[in-house]
Amino acid sequence: MSFDQIIAVDWSSSSTASSAKPVANAIYVGSKVRGQPADVQYFRTRLSAMDAICAMLDRAQDAASRVLVGFDFGFGYPQGFAQALTGQSSGLGVWDWLAERIEDGPDNKNNRFEVADQINRALDSIGPFWGCPRGAETDALRQRGSERDPLQFPERRTVEALTSSAQPMWKLYTPGSVGGQSLVGLPMLAKLRARYGGGITVWPFETGFAKPATNIVLAEIYPSLFDATLRMGDDGTIFDVLDARQVRAVCEAFENAELDALFGAGFDRTTDAKAAQIASEEGWILGVRKQKTDGDSLTPPPLGNDCFAMPQGVSWTPVDEALDQLKDRVRAVTAIETIAVKDAVGRYLASDVFAQRANPPHANCAVDGYGFSADVILDGPNELPVVMGRAAAGAPFSGAVPKGHAIRILTGAVVPSGVDTVVLEEDCTVEADEQGQPIRIAFHGGLRKGANTRKVGEDVMKGDVMLHAARKITPADAAFLTAGGISDIDVRAPLRVAVISTGDELVEAGRTAKAGQIFDANRPMLLSMITAWGFEPVDMGIIRDDPDALKAALDEAAKSADVILTSGGASAGDEDHVSKLLQSSGSLAWWRIAVKPGRPLALAMWGGVPVFGLPGNPVAAFVCTAIFARPAMICLAGGDFAAPQAVTVPAGFSKRKKEGRREFLRARLRNGLAEVFASEGSGRIGGLSWAEGLVELPDEAQEITSGTPVRYIPFSGLGLSV
């Protein structure tokens, strides 16, 4: 059984009708009837699009054909919202709630910001919804997300953590936001349900993670997940718009999908505790899989085959532009798993973490001393009777301390009722009874109220975001999270990086090298860089310049790793077997980056896995890996694309640099000056070994003499220690 027709809708929350000519960010409805080419229609308003969709569904119903209708906005909200808004944890309940309140006219005029404001108020908070035009701002609906109250709900749905470019449902305004589309879309879907009654089901709200049985199925889709760039329109202007190409790609992708796998989304409904809750409340994006590995983990879809496509030009791309391009194209590809905080150091967080508990959970005492109410303390000498008992860490004092009395209190103790200030024991004269119990203390006043105490939540309040997604967990984070009541977190699985050396001249270290042969120096270098960055190295050995052997190695690497680094053979010459083979995959792009040392960087996809074809020359391989592959791999691993940490220091060398490309020199700091290696010869691996960092010279021409400020990137700034 499969669908006879797929309809894919790219929605819009626009408040006015869009222009007569097809434009981006408007409504596109793709439809593909089995056996016929896909067709895409453009609509200027939501109501006209819905009329057309209903007409298609009416026809399908008459013909008893099966139709999958996908809409590209969130069908549900993060966990807890439905219950708070409607009193039940049902995504469909939210649809009905919105349908009663959203007004949406034939000219697209609608009240989505008013309704969002109303929801924020009903929840008694600033937020969770945010973002609106200037005039629509209220004290509950703000223009900036950072002005919201501590969030009562997660920022993202579970599925959104797998599609890193997906925007949170709460964000209603500014480019790329989808929250507004759901507010005006869900009421329309509620109407579709009313119209087709038992003939329609909503996946996964009504079906769980299982194949629906009715003829019409509604599901959430995310067209950007599909590879649309390769399907340029050949038949008319409408396909010049990316949205139009994308909905067509969705139709084509779903037409032949295996339905049990598609609707199951990788969940095991019998054992997966989270599945039922996600299915009833948050919803899911069709085509995204939660993949079960050994642990409980979610795997995002692979990158598209056109991931590295570059317009082929004659000019060289500046380094910064190349880095921007890379940043745009890669995203996290590793699975998400829930693990104990103590085991998570070095891993990338997959979602924001909210404090489960305030730290400190109660006001507590910062020193050993005596506590009292500051109200009765004089600036001069004071004498206070000491009550029986004491307050210690883990052993609170249960009574109240009367005004004018003091209590013995120790570091970490909960501050007892009646106490707001503590004086250090060293600053007191203590009178004790025969048993050594303090009965009176004398000390000098002038203490600030609250002295030597820690306020409840001064570190973090319950519900605050403690750490954001994409952070690499440090030992200090482990302490912080644990203090906030967090024991387990969602993190990315370690990125597996395969390393292949290629070349007939290469010999493995320790073997005998004949005349004309050289030892494979790149592999030990690249494998250790990968380990230093916290990725998992996968050593694929040396591969001869032989297409079959290379192909087998790439196939194997694509199976066992998330990204592949090759070195050698990546230029465009006769013996450049890596590039020839990668070219056969249809995805090879040479990035002609204006950098020295370097050559065109060969980027490609092999079996769904990105490949960095590095130059064979070890110095160039090192620089390309550190400057280009590293930030891309950090993104693939679930982190944020970040420039290396650098410092500006005076040069301890002279050089006349020509215009046109960026240069990285092997360098080190001595006496506060950056010195560079005597030779710039790219064959000098010894110079790389001598270096403790790189001097980065700008794209422009520069005359450097001793003392000229230069940018120095210590290897530690590249995550490599010296």
User: For Mg ion, which is the closer residue by CB, 267 or 612?
Assistant: 612
Q: 370 and 444 in contact (C-beta within 8 Å)?
A: no
Q: How far is the CB of 719 from ligand AMP (least distance, A)?
A: 22
Tell me if 638 contacts Mg ion by CB under 5 A. no
Tell me if 503 contacts ligand AMP by CB under 6 A. yes
When binding is defined by CB under 6 A, the residue of 281, 520, 675, 696 that contacts ligand AMP is 520
Which one, of 107, 108, 105, 128, lies nearest residue 117 by Cα? 128
Distance in angstroms (rounded) separating the CA atoms of residues 239 and 10: 13
Q: How far is the CB of 599 from ligand AMP (least distance, A)?
A: 7
How distant is the alpha carbon of residue 35 from its chain centre?
Answer: 39
When binding is defined by CB under 5 A, the residue of 569, 597, 613, 638 that contacts Mg ion is 569
DSSP 628: I
Distance in angstroms (rounded) separating the CA atoms of residues 35 and 37: 7
Tell me if 76 contacts Mg ion by CB under 5 A. no
Strand 647-650, strand 709-714: pairing: antiparallel
Kindly report the three-state secondary structure assignment for every residue of 432-479: ECCCCCEEEEEEECCCCCCCCEECCCCCECCCCEEECCCCECCHHHHH
Peptide bond just before 204 cis, omega within 30 deg: yes
Tell me if 687 contacts ligand AMP by CB under 6 A. no
Q: How far is the CB of 556 from ligand AMP (least distance, A)?
A: 18
What secondary structure does DSSP assign to 555-614, as a single string?
HHHHHH-SEEEEESS-SSSTT-HHHHHHHHTT--EEE-B-EES---EEEEEETTEEEEEE
- From the list ligand AMP, Mg ion, none, partner contacted by residue 522 (C-beta under 5 to 8 A by kind): ligand AMP
DSSP 55: H
Which residues in 261-280 contact ligand AMP (CB under 6 A)? none
Q: 497 and 633 in contact (C-beta within 8 Å)?
A: yes
Peptide bond just before 128 cis, omega within 30 deg: yes
Which one, of 599, 579, 576, 597, lies nearest residue 589 by Cα? 579
Q: How far is the CB of 566 from Mg ion (least distance, A)?
A: 11
- Using the contact rule CB under 6 A, the part of the chain among 52-60, 108-116, 358-366, 499-507 near ligand AMP is 499-507
Q: 542 and 523 in contact (C-beta within 8 Å)?
A: yes
Q: How far is the CB of 505 from ligand AMP (least distance, A)?
A: 5
Distance in angstroms (rounded) separating the CA atoms of residues 91 and 95: 7
User: For ligand AMP, which is the closer residue by CB, 519 or 690?
Assistant: 519
Which residue has the closest beta carbon to Mg ion?
503
- From the list Mg ion, ligand AMP, none, partner contacted by residue 521 (C-beta under 5 to 8 A by kind): ligand AMP
Q: Which two tokens stand for residue 147?
A: 């002005």
User: For Mg ion, which is the closer residue by CB, 264 or 569?
Assistant: 569
When binding is defined by CB under 6 A, the residue of 567, 579, 587, 625 that contacts ligand AMP is 567
Which one, of 168, 300, 167, 285, lies nearest residue 635 by Cα? 300
Q: How far is the CB of 525 from ligand AMP (least distance, A)?
A: 8
Tell me if 506 contacts ligand AMP by CB under 6 A. yes
- From the list ligand AMP, Mg ion, none, partner contacted by residue 518 (C-beta under 5 to 8 A by kind): ligand AMP
String marking each residue 484-503 x if it binds Mg ion according to CB under 5 A: -------------------x
- Using the contact rule CB under 6 A, the part of the chain among 207-215, 426-434, 563-571, 628-636 near ligand AMP is 563-571
Q: How far is the CB of 604 from ligand AMP (least distance, A)?
A: 15
Q: How far is the CB of 269 from ligand AMP (least distance, A)?
A: 49
Which residues in 357-376 contact ligand AMP (CB under 6 A)? none
- Using the contact rule CB under 6 A, the part of the chain among 168-176, 466-474, 490-498, 514-522 near ligand AMP is 514-522
User: For ligand AMP, which is the closer residue by CB, 393 or 572?
Assistant: 572
Contacts of 258 (CB under 8 A, 6+ apart): none
Q: Which two tokens stand for residue 284?
A: 């899911």
Q: How far is the CB of 570 from Mg ion (least distance, A)?
A: 9
Which one, of 303, 314, 304, lies nearest residue 590 by Cα? 314
When binding is defined by CB under 6 A, the residue of 14, 501, 566, 625 that contacts ligand AMP is 501
- From the list ligand AMP, Mg ion, none, partner contacted by residue 359 (C-beta under 5 to 8 A by kind): none
Q: How far is the CB of 512 from Mg ion (least distance, A)?
A: 20
- From the list Mg ion, ligand AMP, none, partner contacted by residue 615 (C-beta under 5 to 8 A by kind): ligand AMP
Q: Which two tokens stand for residue 592?
A: 């002609």
Distance in angstroms (rounded) separating the CA atoms of residues 297 and 154: 19
When binding is defined by CB under 6 A, the residue of 522, 566, 579, 625 that contacts ligand AMP is 522
Q: How far is the CB of 507 from Mg ion (least distance, A)?
A: 13
Tell me if 521 contacts ligand AMP by CB under 6 A. yes
User: For ligand AMP, which is the closer residue by CB, 493 or 525?
Assistant: 525
- From the list Mg ion, ligand AMP, none, partner contacted by residue 618 (C-beta under 5 to 8 A by kind): ligand AMP
Tell me if 568 contacts Mg ion by CB under 5 A. yes
- Using the contact rule CB under 6 A, the part of the chain among 355-363, 403-411, 501-509, 656-664 near ligand AMP is 501-509
User: Three-state DSSP class for 120?
Assistant: helix
User: For Mg ion, which is the closer residue by CB, 70 or 568?
Assistant: 568
User: For ligand AMP, which is the closer residue by CB, 316 or 519?
Assistant: 519
Q: How far is the CB of 683 from ligand AMP (least distance, A)?
A: 7
Peptide bond just before 597 cis, omega within 30 deg: yes
Q: How many Cβ atoms sit within 10 Å of the Cβ of residue 314? A: 5
Amino acid at 56: M
Q: How many residues bind ligand AMP (CB under 6 A)?
A: 17
* Strands (DSSP E) found in 308-410: 336-340, 353-354, 364-365, 369-372, 381-391, 406-409
Q: How far is the CB of 572 from ligand AMP (least distance, A)?
A: 10
When binding is defined by CB under 6 A, the residue of 300, 569, 610, 693 that contacts ligand AMP is 569
Query: Nearest-5° angle of CA 502, CA 508, CA 510?
Result: 165
**Exposed, middle or buried: residue 247 (CB in 10 Å: 0-12, 13-18, 19+)?**
buried
Q: How far is the CB of 595 from ligand AMP (least distance, A)?
A: 16
Q: How many residues bind Mg ion (CB under 5 A)?
A: 3
Q: How far is the CB of 694 from ligand AMP (least distance, A)?
A: 19
Q: How far is CA 678 from CA 595, 687, 688, 695, 710, in A?
A: 20, 8, 11, 13, 17
Peptide bond just before 360 cis, omega within 30 deg: yes
Tell me if 556 contacts ligand AMP by CB under 6 A. no
Contacts of 231 (CB under 8 A, 6+ apart): 239, 245, 248, 249, 252
User: For ligand AMP, which is the closer residue by CB, 22 or 616?
Assistant: 616
User: For ligand AMP, which is the closer residue by CB, 4 or 680?
Assistant: 680
Tell me if 168 contacts Mg ion by CB under 5 A. no
String marking each residue 596-635 x if it binds ligand AMP according to CB under 6 A: -------------------xxxx-----------------
Residues that bind ligand AMP in the complex, under the rule CB under 6 A: 501, 503, 505-506, 518, 520-522, 567-571, 615-618
Binding site for Mg ion (CB under 5 A): 503, 568-569
